[in-house]
Structure 1
Amino acid sequence: MEVEVVVHVEGCLNLCRSKESMEKFVSIDCGGRSNYTDPNTGLKWISDAGLIRHGKVVEVATPNGLQYQSRRDFPADGKKYCYTLSTIERRRYLVRATFQYAKSDSGDSFPKFQLYLDATMWSTITIQDSARIYIEEMIIRAPSSSVNVCLCCALTGSPFISSLELRPLNLSMYATDYEDDFFLKVGARINFGASSKDVVRYPDDPYDRIWSSDQEKRQNYLVGVAPGTESISTSQNIDTRAREYPPLKVMQTAAVGTKGWLSYRLDLEGFPANARAYAYLAEIEDLGNNETRKFTMQHPHVPGSGNVIINIAENANGSYTLYEPSYMNISLDFVFSFSLVKTWDSTRGPLLNAIEISKYVQTIPKTDSKDSK
């Protein structure tokens, strides 16, 4: 009976946190004709018609969701075209921009252009697949009462955007020693052991982070998987009340190395770079009295990484409880390869619930400008 009460209370906490977060979300459908509520998520989307004076609305023939039925295209003239988002100074936010180009009957080249956050270069958007949704996420501590998200500098085609989102974060989340001078550009956020290819986001994640499924494969991303890798899951509650608050749904699944090791390789866009890397771990199998799960996390560019032994239940002070080993400033190459290897005295193979990798992007101070809005 006590366990049932804990699950109920934790579920209520997650629900209340989710509703409170949603009230402060900003979700802009770029090119949208009207405001609406997404029936799948309950999120309220607003049209950008009253937010920006430039660009033209282009209808999308094969949209991947309500907010992708149209997009806003901007002139390829070298000017910056910007959306202004209101923020609370020194509050942390997740800023997300998405791009779905869809098919073009004109035969024009796919667009390639630049994305800025204030004066800081965020990313070069390179469209190679018309059907794919390209997602860019930046975690920031707001430098002022507003931030500008800008598009410009097309090398081919015209700059465009499908949606723009602003998500306030819990005060403890994503704190670093470098946030006065750096933003965090999200490179990978992966849910291991996922039950489908679907992403996990709001309402399962109250902060609406997007957790990609490890079943979603693409070229040079999540390859080199070790033999004996299997997915496991649990319906039990997991205590995720730690600094980064990963969603319960993500922590209830995991990949396990039944033959003693897990290995993955993925390409990280925009690397090599200094990065913040997190593993999210929870023991979600019931181990017998004489069973143990101990392993090392090995990375070829981290000296001594193989000497640190992880025992999830011991490190987390119990099973079904979150443990967050991390590197706050690590140099990673474009190709990120890592392995989890069972120790000689462990009876179970390694386990991995989720990882998150973000690149440090040095901020450029905002200056007064004549950007178009």
Structure 2
Amino acid sequence: MGFHIVLAVFLIRLSCKYTEAQQAFLSIDCGGCKNFTDANVISWFSDNSISGIAGNASKVTPPAYVGNSPSPLSCIRFFPGGQSKYCYMFDLNHYGLTQGKAFLIRASFWAGSHLPYPTRFKNSVSFKFVINADEWEEVSIEFPQTGKEVNKEMYLITSRDNIEVCLSGSSNDSDIPFISSLVLRELADDLLPISLTISLSAGRPLTTVKRTNFGVYTEAFVGAGDIRYSSNITCPSFIFLTSV
């Protein structure tokens, strides 16, 4: 079952709000071999420490803006097996997730010049991203990647005591999926995207279609690791989503 757009795009220009994370503040380096702290003093831990994670790890050359700093964009995890999907599970026992809480989920994808496996079409990869059995979005990337990684972002209010973040497997008529990093942040209910989804869409998820940096006069990029919560310098445009 997939998501369908049910409301027009919102552009939030002046009222983006900084908020402290409550309990779940997770930064996962997918395919990384060790834990580290990045240049923004954010602690990343390798998904090697998560039980039940399948797939293979591979090192990649990170985007130029990263420089010599440690980054989750220095490696990927890919899933060449025959399963229909591969999932990261966040639950009450391990991460303190409870029903009715608001979260930001951000997934990042960067493989650089090419992938370490063949794809259906030369110089491109395509697969679906799924949350709680509902299709979030299709990830389509052309190679070589230049400039910055692909980011997918969603604001979600939990309907149960866990969140299941999955990539579709190649058995689902897609390429072998990969991922670079996965971020989970618990958010306050009065944060603007959360109050919008509560008041206007009965708690249906919001997906970010674009982030615009209003704090500079150039097209300077704010990397995924720089946005710790939903910061006061980058304001996202949204669409409401619902499952059928």
CA separation of 1:166/1:106 partners in 2, compared to 1, >3 Å: closer, same or farther?
A: closer
SS in 2 for 1:362: strand
Q: Does the 8 Å CA contact 1:141/1:183 hold for their aligned counterparts?
A: yes
Aligned residue among 185, 203, 207 for 1:167: 185
Match of 2:3 in 1: none
Instruction: Please tell me the residue identity of whatever aligns with 1:85.
Output: F
Instruction: Please tell me the residue identity of whatever aligns with 1:136.
Output: K
**Is 156-165 or 57-66 further displaced after alignment?**
57-66
Match of 2:13 in 1: none
1:192 aligns with 2:214: yes
> Over residues 30-58 of structure 1, what are the superposed CA-to-partner deviations in whole Å (9 max), with x where a residue is unaligned?
001011111x2111101001224310001
Q: Does the 8 Å CA contact 2:63/2:149 hold for their aligned counterparts?
A: no
Compute the TM-score of the two structures, normalised by the length of structure 1: 0.49
CA separation of 1:36/1:180 partners in 2, compared to 1, >3 Å: closer, same or farther?
A: same
1:167 is displaced (CA, Å) by 1.0
> Over residues 193-235 of structure 1, what are the superposed CA-to-partner deviations in whole Å (9 max), with x where a residue is unaligned?
61441317777x661x3xxxxxxxxxxxxxxxxxxxxxxxxxx
Aligned length: 204
Aligned residue among 344, 347, 359 for 2:239: 359
CA separation of 1:160/1:60 partners in 2, compared to 1, >3 Å: closer, same or farther?
A: same
| Structure-1 separation of matches of 2:47 and 2:126 | 22
| Structure-1 separation of matches of 2:28 and 2:237 | 26
SS in 1 for 2:21: helix
Instruction: Please tell me the residue identity of whatever aligns with 1:142.
Output: T
1:116 aligns with 2:127: no
CA separation of 1:161/1:206 partners in 2, compared to 1, >3 Å: closer, same or farther?
A: closer
RMSD of aligned Cα (Å): 2.9
1:145 is displaced (CA, Å) by 1.4
> Over residues 124-167 of structure 1, what are the superposed CA-to-partner deviations in whole Å (9 max), with x where a residue is unaligned?
00011432411000000111111010001444531011000001
SS in 2 for 1:182: coil
Q: Does the 8 Å CA contact 2:62/2:110 hold for their aligned counterparts?
A: no
Match of 2:27 in 1: 27
CA separation of 1:69/1:22 partners in 2, compared to 1, >3 Å: closer, same or farther?
A: farther
1:137 aligns with 2:147: no
Match of 2:37 in 1: 37
| Structure-2 separation of matches of 1:159 and 1:186 | 21
Q: Does the 8 Å CA contact 2:55/2:78 hold for their aligned counterparts?
A: yes
Q: Does the 8 Å CA contact 1:76/1:157 hold for their aligned counterparts?
A: no
Compute the TM-score of the two structures, normalised by the length of structure 2: 0.72
Match of 2:90 in 1: 85
1:74 aligns with 2:68: no
Q: Percent identity?
A: 26
| Structure-2 separation of matches of 1:156 and 1:201 | 26
Match of 1:332 in 2: none
The one of the two structures with greater contact order (alpha-carbon pairs below 8 A, sep at least 6) is 2
